[in-house]
Chains A and B, each alone.
Chain A
């Protein structure tokens, strides 16, 4: 099963806002509100930033928000900070017999 589609890279300046997209199908992103987003710094463990499309776990900054339209989910980060520079992965429940959760290929966010 193919991974969810994310842009390979996104760039922003401190203080700006960016959005990362995550495109799937009606069998995953479009069919269920079980989209999550993870932040991964080099050599570190992935950190859950958004779950169930638009919910933030305790302790995650309000600058991170999620949304979904059709088969595409999005992660938005406002007021970019240098510490936001990381890889970001989306994931979704999938109704495929071949899997249960499918991840995106990841997006490298660079804060210039």
Chain B
């Protein structure tokens, strides 16, 4: 079965960077794009970007350009999110998600990783 297992909660200071991992299993890693979606406390869902695990090509939402980097390691079927120049507004739960049969339907989700930005 498809599984996405994310790294644990992180606390970071304003201006610092954070790394979140998403280890996948149960399917062909290079066959499906992986997306990242975040949810600020009490707020809605926000798409951040995707990575093609086969080629490493990425696409980011404009509001995260310059601060967000997505990478992958095919040897351990894991994708990574790096978010820099953190501010308090980046406090959120970060999810990795894999599409199902379509291109934009997020059928499989990681359990979420809470990132808290606080001085």
- Co-complex (A, B): yes
CA distance A102 to B46 in the complex (A): 7
B interface residues, how many (CB within 8 angstroms): 24
Query: With A98-B61, A98-B63, A99-B62 in contact, do A34 and B103 touch (Cβ < 8 Å)?
Result: yes
CB-defined contacts of A104 to chain B, threshold 8 Å: 44
Cβ contact within 8 Å between B44 and A45: no
A8 → chain B, closest Cβ, in Å? 11
Cβ contact within 8 Å between A46 and B62: no
A interface residues, how many (CB within 8 angstroms): 24
CB-defined contacts of A103 to chain B, threshold 8 Å: 44-47
Q: Is residue A31 contacting chain B, with contact meaning CB distance below 8 A?
A: no
- Scan B86-118; emit 1 where CB is below 8 A from any A CB, else 0: 000000000100001111111101111000000
Cβ contact within 8 Å between A93 and B104: yes
CA distance A106 to B49 in the complex (A): 20
CB-defined contacts of A51 to chain B, threshold 8 Å: 100-102, 104-105, 107
Which chain B residues numbered 47 to 105 have a C-beta less than 8 Å away from chain A?
47, 49-50, 59, 61-63, 95, 100-105
Which chain A residues numbered 60 to 88 have a C-beta less than 8 Å away from chain B?
none
Q: Tell me the number of A-to-B contacts counted with CB atoms below 8 Å.
A: 69
CB-defined contacts of B45 to chain A, threshold 8 Å: 38, 46, 89, 91, 103, 106
- Scan B9-51; emit 1 where CB is below 8 A from any A CB, else 0: 0000000000000000000000000010000000011110110
Cβ contact within 8 Å between A34 and B62: no
CA distance A80 to B107 in the complex (A): 23
Cβ contact within 8 Å between A98 and B104: no
Residues of B within 8 A of A (CB): 35, 44-47, 49-50, 59, 61-63, 95, 100-107, 109-112
CB-CB nearest 9 A-B residue pairs? A51-B105, A98-B62, A101-B47, A106-B44, A103-B45, A45-B109, A34-B104, A93-B104, A36-B105
Residues of A within 8 A of B (CB): 3, 34, 36, 38, 45-46, 48, 51-52, 57, 89, 91-93, 97-106
